[in-house]
Amino acid sequence: MRPRFFSLPPVPWPYILINLNRPTIGYVRRYKKHIEAILIDSGIEIFRRSNTYDYPDGFQGQLIRALKLRDKLRGMGIRVPIYITIADYCDDYKHMALWQDDYTNIERTLWSIFYALDNYPYKYYLIPIQGYNEVPSSIEKTLEYLELSGILKTHRYYAIANLCVSRRIDTIVRTLKIARTWLRNKYVHAFGINLRAIRYVHNLIDSFDSMAWTRPVNTKKLKANWSCKNKQERIRFFHAWIERLNKILNNQKITNYLKEKDLCGLS
């Protein structure tokens, strides 16, 4: 199974990732005829800041912002699926930073999920499966709550949200195996999976996202050891990243999409 790859590259691409805190809709306007799906993430990176413990207007405000962005995209003529990640609370930037005694990041995420589904029903929500940092089995706590509430029976799309900064292959593999066991017939997205892990988990997920291509994956080939600084470097770095992904998946379709559509912008 070849998972979809969501990102925001410097060339047309079918699966687009939009950061809710920095929505880049100019890309959508320019390349919308190539787009097959859009994923709006929850903007969880704000919790990298040491003094940030909630979204500016809580999970309620973050949800409203996402729904307004969806409506704006629809107003631009976008008719493909627009996935919205329900606002979640992580534990992987700083362990226990978003906990309030026994009210952990998992419970906070669950209240956000219940609020969204109860008040603003939408077919293409990505329901975040949160857990504790580097503890794969912890996602079962989220899954158990979702099963007891009946959500696992009625909703299709889920996102494994506790792996964004993990570089431990065993953690990533174990977590996604647990997720797939619970979500056998569901759509499973994995946030921020690195290329080293993809070779081991590509058959466990339906899609993943990354912006890691902005850093070189082959310094000898690219003759660079820095993050991309201009559009030409962004094109080169993205192309090199996709080539590596293509080799890992042993599937020519990803690279062929670029070549057949003449999208890569490289000579």
In this prediction, residue 257 carries a pLDDT of 47
- Write the pLDDT tens digit of every residue in 144-198: 999 999 999 999 999 999 998 888 899 999 999 999 999 999 999 999 888 999 9
Instruction: Read off the pTM.
Output: 0.91
Residue 221, helix vs strand vs coil:
helix
**The pLDDT value given to residue 2:** 86
The pairing of strands 4-6 and 157-160 is: unpaired
pLDDT of 63-113, one tens digit each? 999 999 999 999 999 999 999 999 999 988 788 777 888 899 999 999 999
Residues 229-242 have pLDDT tens digits of 899 999 999 999 99
| Spatial distance between the Cα atoms of 96 and 90, rounded to a whole number of angstroms | 9
pLDDT confidence of residue 262: 44
pLDDT in tens, 20-45: 999 989 999 999 999 999 999 998 88
Phi, psi of 6 (to 5 degrees): -95, 135
pLDDT at 251: 56
pLDDT at 51: 87
Angle at 111 between CA 41 and CA 191, to 5 degrees: 25
pLDDT at 12 over 90: yes
Q: CA gyration radius for the chain?
A: 18
Q: Specify the higher pLDDT residue, 205 or 44.
A: 205
Of the candidates 176, 169, 168, 170, the one whose C-alpha atom is nearest the C-alpha of residue 131 is: 176
Q: DSSP states of 32-61 as a string?
A: GGG-SEEEEE--GGGGGSTT--S-TTHHHH
- How confident is the model at residue 1, as a pLDDT? 67
Cα distance between residue 230 and residue 235, in whole Å: 9
Residue partners of 177: CB distance under 8 A and separation at least 6: 204
Domains defined along the chain, listed by start: 4-210 (3.20.20), 214-267 (no CATH)
